[in-house]
Structure 1
């Protein structure tokens, strides 16, 4: 991937300018509440911006184009699944979570299941989110190395700089602002490129002529079972992630939280479409390139020179801002549920300092893990991440919202222990198993369902 001087200039300019709002946001941060939750005064658009900043990362752009290059239109299901997850979050989770006036998912679980639930959910969430950070960094390191024609170490340094500038100072306010900028830039570049790719292929009629139905035009390529598994995994992963729930906690009221989820869903669902079409157009133009380069190759070779440079900056920012949102969620869990809850730190300035220090530490640690596993597979990290988050959080949290007082404390706590234990050990006992998520959920239900039935029975008996 070779950039011209004009493309390089435009790319660097966008990277610098897009980082400035976070620095400005830092001047308004006076406490840990300002940093972690934007002072609980975020509008629906800021909530949406915070979510989009994290959820529309390299998988939604580069990943969708890569799969479009390999299998065609069925690649749109990643962003569709993410959008469905946000709709479900808005309908069922946003209002009770925002009305709890808490900061982390762990705090929400502690209220119902007791103090022991806090460390369990915090550890599962922190490790799960950290693995997602590693997965995102694996993509970002290679993308930046190609854009700047530099080695992987320098690429890692650039990632650290952009992550810290976008979230270290401004916190959630900075993340929300960068999300709104990301939306604008994606519409300007990737959506424009998607329209051009569609026209280059001859529209719908041309696509039907150029591509055979299998696999290119099959919406459920891989079968309905695989599609269902992927969508369920995405829904569980999104709903169980501190970074997205943190955006809900930051809303000024529950209505803003709900609207923010719906706005984010409306933005996220269609973003994959132009990326997939670009992947298909790249395949017809240059089928021999590495599939992961499909999107950047098309942007550099088919857009006006200046816009191609801007577009590469958008890809880099999409990837790194996604990392930033995940890092902020991870640091908030560490700060609130370890430094504050366990160690007992109460001073807001000290908590703010610990939060910012955690951002720095997590970013550097993730870089170290990436370079130790530079040739590993992104999806391996992603699936393990989803399993850990879903196993310890999704169903225990869902049962609190759906069944409230009918879930016994002990049943909820045992379900968390069982789910997390299965997620960590399942492949040791069953090495050929493709996933650990569904077995973990089954063990959650093994305790939650009888617990709810017992709760109903005891309540009716009292009445």
Structure 2
């Protein structure tokens, strides 16, 4: 047991917990003085999130354990050309700021599912909650697994114990302070990430065990084989567009003081996200060029667990002890800043879109807050169990974006920018088509076999960009079905009794504006 490391991580945890509890007291004072609802204060920080704090909490949320550990893992295993998370997630924030931040903030929504529920009704909105929740749990599980791996290598404690303790700390301050605690602890955590990683780079780079890092001597660039071009392009698209439909992102966007602040927060956060990824890239290059036998590492990186642990191994064997402890603080900070965001955002969607809008429309403000607290506990428990079974952080980062890319992104894009060209019938069939094509394509990470083997399929790997195909087909189907059903019910005046989704309350009207009405009975 590394007692020095254990004491240091204990101090760090107490600091984060203290900031979170202090922010909780600030929230309680806001609640006492606020004319807004209790839920708005807890879930959206009274829509008074300052631009500076907002940018830092946005950046900290995206610079997660799967982000920094996965970046080093990608370069070490495949080369820098395959290191897509920094570029993909940074562009996700920028594209999200351009396309979605301002329109959603202008309408005063609480969650990203609100426009979908307004357009398609409560039940369809509840259905779309399922892939959103699944992705959040995958994301939290990947981040907690990254922390457990790091603590196990550097502090030499049981990985599962590290995951459980970290989950409990996160749970405590999220319950106590809501978005206020999450935002202000994110600021502290982002500073720790930058300090820990930047300090580690020169020590690791100049370690005697690290050879010549010139590309001619150490192949840290990697190659993209012709059959893998489809995988490469789709992986980048998946991270960009699959990195947008996340409540953790929209919770910060919708908590800003103005629509312009919402857009600025996204654009600047995307640039900072890429900047913070730079030391991770450098550490990945160092890992690729190190002589691990000379460094004293007993393993040979033949198992997924070893490759997954490459960042903490770099910190442990290529830097002095005090630097490795700073790096440990950086990884811990990155993980907790993303885990707390995921827990709160998924709980917010449940309380707002399932508990209030779907199950109990007359629920009081206090009941919504209590539902949020209960779901925080449940999500934390499920994510903790998920974290104990993660085998690859890089793979998990892709899988997280997978579901939202195929299922949620087409829905959100159409309802925000092409509202008059879609309705519930099209949305429902597009949901089923996207889900079906994704499942039939298989997923090795969870042992799901490929029922459909697309072109260039080999060795259990789909090299054809079938996810992007599913996105495009879903958009086409949604618009086509919406146009057809609109024509049938409005022009042909099919009887109202056949309108099972209550999409056309007045089938005798020829106005297309009825498609934008909120269907409270749907």
Q: Per the shorter chain, which TM-score range? A: 0.7 to 0.9
Structure 1 counterpart of 2:408: 393
Are 1:226 and 2:224 counterparts?
A: no
Structure 2 counterpart of 1:282: 287
In 1, Cα distance between the equivalents of 2:57 and 2:343? 13
Q: Deviations over 1:226-285 (max 9, x none)?
A: 331111111222111111111111111111111111121111112222212212223433
Of 123, 129, 133, which residue of structure 1 is paired with 2:136? 129
Are 1:191 and 2:198 counterparts?
A: yes
How far does residue 38 in structure 1 lie from its aligned partner after superposition? Answer: 1.2
Distance 1:367 1:218, change over 3 A: closer
Distance 1:75 1:199, change over 3 A: farther
Query: Which structure 2 residues correspond to residues 225-244 of structure 1 after superposition, within 5 A?
Result: 225-244=230-249
How far does residue 54 in structure 1 lie from its aligned partner after superposition? Answer: 2.3
Structure 1 counterpart of 2:347: 331
In 1, Cα distance between the equivalents of 2:440 and 2:230? 25
Of 300, 304, 322, which residue of structure 2 is paired with 1:306? 322
In 2, Cα distance between the equivalents of 1:189 and 1:251? 29
Structure 1, 230-239 or 158-167: larger mean CA deviation: 158-167
Distance 1:242 1:219, change over 3 A: farther
In 1, Cα distance between the equivalents of 2:205 and 2:154? 25
How far does residue 166 in structure 1 lie from its aligned partner after superposition? Answer: 4.0
How far does residue 65 in structure 1 lie from its aligned partner after superposition? Answer: 1.4
Are 1:217 and 2:221 counterparts?
A: yes
Structure 1 counterpart of 2:430: 415
Contact 1:72 1:276 in 2 (8 A): no
Q: Deviations over 1:30-79 (max 9, x none)?
A: 32212211111112233323322321111221121122222332254211
Are 1:33 and 2:23 counterparts?
A: no
RMSD between superposed Cα atoms in Å: 3.3
Distance 1:140 1:234, change over 3 A: same
In 2, Cα distance between the equivalents of 1:443 and 1:208? 41
Normalized per residue, which structure has more helix? 1
How far does residue 360 in structure 1 lie from its aligned partner after superposition? Answer: 1.2
Contact 1:65 1:275 in 2 (8 A): yes
TM-score (normalised: structure 1): 0.87
Distance 1:109 1:37, change over 3 A: same
Of 478, 482, 492, which residue of structure 2 is paired with 1:448? 478
Point out where structure 2 has 5 or more consecutive residues left out of the alignment: 32-37, 293-299, 443-448, 454-459, 492-509, 513-522
Are 1:261 and 2:266 counterparts?
A: yes
Distance 1:132 1:370, change over 3 A: same
Are 1:164 and 2:171 counterparts?
A: yes
Contact 1:50 1:172 in 2 (8 A): no
How far does residue 347 in structure 1 lie from its aligned partner after superposition? Answer: 1.9
Contact 1:200 1:281 in 2 (8 A): no
Contact 1:120 1:416 in 2 (8 A): no
Point out where structure 1 has 5 or more consecutive residues left out of the alignment: none
Contact 1:53 1:325 in 2 (8 A): no
Contact 2:5 2:154 in 1 (8 A): no
Structure 2 counterpart of 1:430: 452
Structure 1, 7-16 or 241-250: larger mean CA deviation: 7-16
In 1, Cα distance between the equivalents of 2:251 and 2:370? 19
Q: Deviations over 1:334-387 (max 9, x none)?
A: 11112111232532222212212211111112223444xx36455665555433
How far does residue 149 in structure 1 lie from its aligned partner after superposition? Answer: 2.1
- Secondary structure at the aligned position of 2:108 is classed as coil
Of 38, 42, 48, which residue of structure 1 is paired with 2:49? 42
Query: Which structure 2 residues correspond to residues 61-72 of structure 1 after superposition, within 5 A?
Result: 61-72=68-79
TM-score (normalised: structure 2): 0.78
Structure 2 counterpart of 1:18: 16
Contact 2:48 2:255 in 1 (8 A): yes
Bigger radius of gyration, 1 or 2? Answer: 2
How far does residue 452 in structure 1 lie from its aligned partner after superposition? Answer: 7.3
In 1, Cα distance between the equivalents of 2:346 and 2:330? 24
Structure 1, 305-314 or 255-264: larger mean CA deviation: 305-314
In 1, Cα distance between the equivalents of 2:255 and 2:225? 39
Contact 2:201 2:279 in 1 (8 A): yes
Structure 2 counterpart of 1:9: 7
Contact 1:201 1:281 in 2 (8 A): no
How far does residue 393 in structure 1 lie from its aligned partner after superposition? Answer: 1.6
How far does residue 139 in structure 1 lie from its aligned partner after superposition? Answer: 2.9
Distance 1:69 1:390, change over 3 A: closer
In 1, Cα distance between the equivalents of 2:4 and 2:391? 34
Distance 1:341 1:433, change over 3 A: farther
In 1, Cα distance between the equivalents of 2:223 and 2:195? 27
Q: Deviations over 1:111-154 (max 9, x none)?
A: 22233321111122112222222333333333333343222442
Contact 1:75 1:276 in 2 (8 A): no
In 2, Cα distance between the equivalents of 1:162 and 1:169? 11
In 1, Cα distance between the equivalents of 2:208 and 2:111? 47
- Secondary structure at the aligned position of 1:9 is classed as helix
How far does residue 171 in structure 1 lie from its aligned partner after superposition? Answer: 1.7
Are 1:405 and 2:420 counterparts?
A: yes
